[in-house]
């Protein structure tokens, strides 16, 4: 169904339309849930590049794509890349939404998770305390 929706939106709206990119992001999420990380990464990168182009690097939807890419990278064990993306999402969300916004705190939590996966427990604890 996600592929069908994506194909329909590509045909009707074009490959770079924000609604089409939302369908790309949704498909990436499904692929990640199925453990198809390489395909999910490809879709996440497509959504991110399209959103950066259409909406700008600091737009909340773009930052959502950054966060999604971080998640799939973490799922692949690519922790340094995931950390970089999580930090980008966090910094952008702090700037755009403020330090206490739920999406910002979600980024703090995601960063804590990848820090923990790297064995950086003190840094992860600091981030988790911030979320609390």
What single string gives the DSSP state of each residue in 37-96? Answer: HHHHHHHHHHHHHHHHHHH-TTSHHHHHHHHHHHHHHHHTT-HHHHHHHHHHHHHHHHHH
Collapsing DSSP states into helix, strand and coil, what is residue 119? coil
The predicted structure's pLDDT at residue 4? 86
- The answer to whether residue 115 scores a pLDDT higher than 90 is yes
- The answer to whether residue 76 scores a pLDDT higher than 90 is yes
Q: How confident is the model at residue 93 (pLDDT cuts 50, 70, 90)?
A: very high
Nearest-angstrom CA–CA distance, 37 and 72: 6
**Residue 32: how many other CB atoms lie within 10 Å:** 20
Domains in the chain with CATH codes: 2-131 (1.25.40.10)
Could you tell me the two tokens for 116?
């923990």
Could you tell me the two tokens for 107?
């980024």
The predicted structure's pLDDT at residue 9? 87
5-49 pLDDT, tens digit each: 888 888 999 988 989 999 999 999 999 999 999 999 999 999 999
């Amino acid at each position: 169904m996600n592929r069908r929706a994506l194909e329909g939106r590509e045909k009707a709206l074009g490959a770079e339309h924000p609604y089409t990119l939302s369908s790309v992001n949704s498909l990436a999420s499904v692929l990640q849930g199925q453990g198809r990380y390489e395909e999910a990464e490809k879709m996440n990168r497509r959504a991110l590049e399209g959103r950066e182009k259409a909406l700008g690097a600091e737009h909340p939807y773009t930052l959502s794509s950054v966060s999604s890419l971080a998640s799939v990278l973490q799922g692949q064990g690519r922790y340094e890349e995931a950390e970089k993306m999580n930090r980008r999402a966090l910094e952008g969300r702090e700037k755009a939404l403020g330090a206490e916004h739920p999406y910002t705190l979600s980024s703090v939590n995601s960063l804590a998770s990848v820090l923990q996966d790297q064995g950086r427990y003190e840094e992860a604890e600091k981030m988790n305390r911030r979320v609390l």
